[in-house]
Amino acid sequence: MPDPLGTVERLNPDAAVATRAFLFQQSPEHGWTINGMPYSPGRALARPRLGTT
């Protein structure tokens, strides 16, 4: 395996069109929650537009 796995383009925070926060917690009733809602595979938590940062 090569030392560098690849290059990562550095994103400019000033170019962001939205800022999102995701709070991951464990709940005795629901197991893992994200922003207070039980984890549900396949449920979209954000819908960023293609090409935006």
Q: Report residue 40 as tokens.
A: 């549900």
pLDDT score of 30: 84
- Which pLDDT value is given to residue 21? 93
CA 21 to chain centre: 8
- One digit per residue, the tens of pLDDT, for the chain of length 53 reads 778 888 888 988 888 898 899 999 998 888 999 999 999 999 999 999 998 87
pLDDT of residue 37: 92
Q: What is the pLDDT of residue 42?
A: 93
User: What is the structure's pLDDT at 6?
Assistant: 87
What backbone torsions phi and psi does residue 7 show, to the nearest 5 degrees?
A: -105, 145
Q: Is there a contact between 24 and 33 (Cβ–Cβ < 8 Å)?
A: yes
Backbone phi, psi, residue 30, to 5°: -120, 0
Distances 16 to 19, 25, 30, 35 between C-alpha atoms, Å: 7, 26, 33, 21
